[in-house]
Amino acid sequence: IPREQEQPERSSSEKTLKIVQLYPRDMNIYGDWGNTLSLSRRAQAHGYATEIVDYNPGDTFPQDADILVGGGGQDSGQTVIQEDLHALAPQLKEMAENGTPMLVICGLYQLFGKEFRTIGGDNLAGIGIFDAVTVGGKERLIGNIVEESEEFGTVIGYENHSGLTTLSGSTRPLATVTKGEGNNTEDSYEGARIHNVIGTYLHGSLLPKNPQISDFLVEKAAEKKFGSFEKKQIDDSLVEKARASAAARPR
């Protein structure tokens, strides 16, 4: 679906959630737009109207963002957004501390940590929402991944990164890997969690395969904006099929 066709159908009585996709021009590999689209549809299924706003370097940052989503990027894309991200950092930190739900994948997950030392010798400072450090490795960690999360149950996806991330302090992992690599090759953790912010290496089709994560983002956004969230029963039979098939795939 072309981005321009995904616009809200709104009536004045509807409650609207504004989803801001961070840096789609430079940080949108492996179908990260698909996550935004999927999140928007899930929010609509729960009865909310949605508005999707792109934020690229130099744009005016939307003050009333309800959910932030940011995608993966190559080391070069990460360098392009670096300056802008740091200008935005105080605002993003404040929003994170105030409970704005956020999902950041791979390249942006790394930059939400404290630093990323790339294999090319660049030292990219992160914005420190996560107490995490990433170091570029010689090998890429690529393949299907399955992990268990206390909050979200079984999480299924695909990883492709060379950065190796280590968490510390009050940042908890998102999940423990049961198939695949995750944050690094040493511990079995994957992703990061703090406030209502989720960082993960799981790409593109994360949200279509893991609607429980969309539900979390929508719930936190709705509670924050409207004071409550009414969870609708959604028919997930197709999702369950997709999850079973993805989980059964070899690494």
Q: Is 115 in the site for ligand GLN (CB under 6 A)?
A: no
Is residue 107 close enough to count as binding ligand GLN by CB under 6 A?
Answer: yes
For residue 89, which phi and psi values (nearest 5 degrees)? Answer: -50, -45
User: Which has the closest alpha carbon to 119: 139, 146, 145, 104?
Assistant: 139
Annotated binding-site residue? 41: no
- CB of 201: closest distance to ligand GLN in angstroms? 8
Q: Quick check: helix, strand or coil at residue 113?
A: coil
CA distance 54 to 19: 9
Stretch that binds ligand GLN, among 18-26, 93-101, 156-164, 179-187 (CB under 6 A): 156-164
If one asks whether residue 173 binds ligand GLN (CB under 6 A), the answer comes out as no
Q: Is 182 in the site for ligand GLN (CB under 6 A)?
A: no
Residue nearest to ligand GLN (CB): 72
The answer to whether 160 contacts ligand GLN (rule: CB under 6 A) is yes
Question: Which of 86, 161, 195, 203 is the catalytic position?
Answer: 203
Active site residue 46: no
Report the site for ligand GLN in 24-63 (rule: CB under 6 A): 29
Q: How far apart are CA 199 and CA 141, in angstroms?
A: 17
User: Nearest-5° angle of CA 36, CA 248, CA 158?
Assistant: 35
Query: How many C-beta neighbours within 10 Å does residue 106 have?
Result: 29
Rounded to whole angstroms, the Cα distance separating 93 from 99 reads 10
When asked if residue 113 is in the footprint of ligand GLN (CB under 6 A), the reply is: no
Name 137's Cβ contacts closer than 8 Å, sequence gap at least 6: 119, 162, 163, 164, 185
Question: Which span sits near ligand GLN by CB under 6 A: 1-9, 160-168, 231-239, 241-249?
Answer: 160-168
Residue of 72, 55, 75, 56 lying closest to 64 (CA atoms): 55
Min dist. Cβ of residue 167 to ligand GLN (A): 15
Residue among 46, 86, 106, 195 flagged as catalytic: 106
Question: Would you give the binding string for ligand GLN spanning residues 56-75, x where CB under 6 A is met?
Answer: ----------------xxxx
User: In angstroms, rounded to a whole number, what is the distance separating the alpha carbons of residues 173 and 194?
Assistant: 9
Joined together, the tokens standing for residue 218 give: 């929508």
Q: State which of residues 162, 166, 176, 212 lies at the interface with ligand GLN (CB under 6 A).
A: 162
Tell me whether residue 161 is one of the annotated catalytic residues. Answer: no
Task: Give the whole-angstrom CA distance, residue 143 versus residue 201.
Answer: 11
Binding site for ligand GLN (CB under 6 A): 29, 72-75, 106-107, 160-163
Annotated binding site for substrate: 140
User: Which residues are tagged catalytic?
Assistant: 106, 203
